[in-house]
Structure 1
């Protein structure tokens, strides 16, 4: 696969020097690569080799920093050819598609349903338990839906319209009578909900940060001279974080006080009253997320890297590099130990934050830029969408992919296949023994 070229070359050099009796790590990586290069018209063999590599990997005594990536990629590629829909030309994890670029995916209060938006002006509701079912259209406009946000209680979805205002959409069949504001026509740069409150925050085209409520008076809580790409509000203390096109991380702390923040004096007057700004470089900050523990802010940049920011200390923790182009979306999993990123390089990546040496899982089946990604509420799946108009689902744990292989194939490797693809010196065992 294109994103594994460097790793593959390294692995092949290891194989060429391997002894007759390879280590378990060498065996796992060799079989993973054999599965990856196996043609798709031999789906059973391709899948069984990947599953057997997984079995050896699962037994342990394997070098952890490379092999997990190879095992996942082999299992995933094998699964693509099992149950492939040749009529609609869809792989097993292609859920469906919009008629234009997918801009955002979010989950609501029910973990079985998620929502997607697109430049086609639609917001669709999808059933995660029935991936190929026809989605429900819950909003339709002749305007581009830039992104969508979900309220904490999952009852109201916000559709942010590009160069326009926003729409507030009830996700319930019988919306509460006190939710009267369904459309806000004031043009905005971006917007978000205030956690735990029936309020939302917008950034006007002229830079005012305005707090609005369903039954309350609008209130200006800040002002910026910069172009804001995304807002994130800290659930713990209400601090407003803003990622800007100029590469500055801005923040307004409670009690909010209106304060101008011109770019020319941010570094000289980086903390004034409740406002502070920190220039992280010249690269645009496109996306933000706060860890479940509330102590880390993850920042995705145009440079293709991820900045981890210590919230209590207001300082840089480290920078994670890997994407070859702009990071477009970012999200922690519910436990906070994994980080999902999407990029214009055509990939989504899952990073293990507990060990910086561990390579990320690379999800690269989209044919265009990947604009959005989200963990499901349990953290077991990832949903992605992008410029190819498709929405895709990915299991986080490779055990699901391994299980699916044996559920769909009614045979094991023959002795001859074992000798060729595993090794004559390794005792035969059934790959799918259950």
Structure 2
């Protein structure tokens, strides 16, 4: 179902952030190197260092012609891809920015930080609209529901908090993980939310009531990423345990494990991020071994 196609090198240090471009076949990475890198799936190669950064990149998010870059310093840089310039850099938080998402319907974007707050910013003038105290500790991950009405925040205190997007009121507090929540993702069909944690569990919460339906011991260590295939009924997870797992999104069955320990190609260190290419042909994974691995969907 998934087979190793290529391992791409170019980074000199661990990679923490990964996102698609809206331009087919282009993606971006960032990490402990002092720059954000642009890659081509067509050429299967590093294209260029897009922009320099002062500190490690922990999060990347692309919207229209803008690439949002969240850094360990708490700064957010916005790179204009059409003009190929850094549009602005500002101090979004006092501590690292772990995740970023845009809310196009509201012309807003959100930043999640180690300081326990979420910043709500205007996409039009980049002003700070609100700062929400979500947790006493790190807010690690953000996911927006398929209908665009709610947002989930995965937090270091082991709790996933659900907010209404129209007024940012707290809706649900989901307690099941015994250790920090490290990833959250809504299913595209709007049926459930998945939370993954440092306890290696995947928890499945039904929608719209957010009742716990299933809990799966999915990995050996932290679940650092969850990504649904753009068109087929599967999702993939990656972990600190160096494995990639492919699951059925309808039946929640485990279909494939990609790991050196299972005698396949695989990463030698923690896997920190994953994305599917926009056309669903490839799964991209990256982590502490400084590599981007390209996996081909083999029907």
TM over 0.5: yes
> What's the counterpart of residue 194 of structure 1?
102
> What's the counterpart of residue 120 of structure 2?
211
Q: Are 1:111 and 2:24 an aligned pair?
A: yes
RMSD after superposition:
2.4
Unaligned runs of 5+ in 1: 1-67, 81-91, 258-272, 400-434
- For residues 147-171 of structure 1, the C-alpha deviation after alignment (integer angstroms, 9 at most, x for no partner) is 21222x3x21111101421111122
- Whether the aligned pair in 2 keeps the contact of 1:381 and 1:393 (CA below 8 Å) is yes
> What's the counterpart of residue 396 of structure 1?
297
> Going by fraction, where is helix more abundant, 1 or 2?
1
Q: Number of aligned residue pairs: give it.
A: 289
Find the residue that maps to 1:281 and give its secondary structure: coil
Q: Are 1:369 and 2:252 an aligned pair?
A: no
> Going by fraction, where is strand more abundant, 1 or 2?
2
Q: CA distance change for structure 1 residues 344 and 149 in 2, over 3 Å: closer, same or farther?
A: same
Q: CA distance change for structure 1 residues 322 and 382 in 2, over 3 Å: closer, same or farther?
A: same
> What's the counterpart of residue 13 of structure 1?
none
Q: CA distance change for structure 1 residues 128 and 195 in 2, over 3 Å: closer, same or farther?
A: same
> What's the counterpart of residue 263 of structure 2?
none
- Whether the aligned pair in 1 keeps the contact of 2:25 and 2:41 (CA below 8 Å) is yes
Structure 1 stretches of at least 4 aligned residues deviating more than 6 Å after TM superposition: none
Find the residue that maps to 1:277 and give its secondary structure: strand
- For residues 51-83 of structure 1, the C-alpha deviation after alignment (integer angstroms, 9 at most, x for no partner) is xxxxxxxxxxxxxxxxx7xxx6xxx5xxx7xxx
CA distance in 2, matches of 1:194, 1:390: 27
CA distance in 1, matches of 2:287, 2:126: 37
CA distance in 2, matches of 1:230, 1:358: 24
TM-superposed CA distance for 1:336, in Å, is: 5.7
Q: Are 1:381 and 2:282 an aligned pair?
A: yes
> What's the counterpart of residue 310 of structure 1?
206
Q: Are 1:231 and 2:142 an aligned pair?
A: yes
TM-score (norm 1): 0.61
Taking CA–CA contacts closer than 8 Å with sequence separation of 6 or more, which of the two structures ends up with the larger relative contact order? Answer: 2
Q: CA distance change for structure 1 residues 174 and 343 in 2, over 3 Å: closer, same or farther?
A: closer
| Structure 2 counterparts to residues 7-86 of structure 1, below 5 A | 76=3
Q: CA distance change for structure 1 residues 181 and 296 in 2, over 3 Å: closer, same or farther?
A: farther
- For residues 79-112 of structure 1, the C-alpha deviation after alignment (integer angstroms, 9 at most, x for no partner) is x7xxxxxxxxxxx611223010011221111121
- Whether the aligned pair in 2 keeps the contact of 1:292 and 1:335 (CA below 8 Å) is no
The match for 2:82 among 142, 155, 172 is 172
Bigger CA radius of gyration: 1
| Structure 2 counterparts to residues 147-186 of structure 1, below 5 A | 147-151=59-63, 153=64, 155-173=65-83, 182-186=88-92
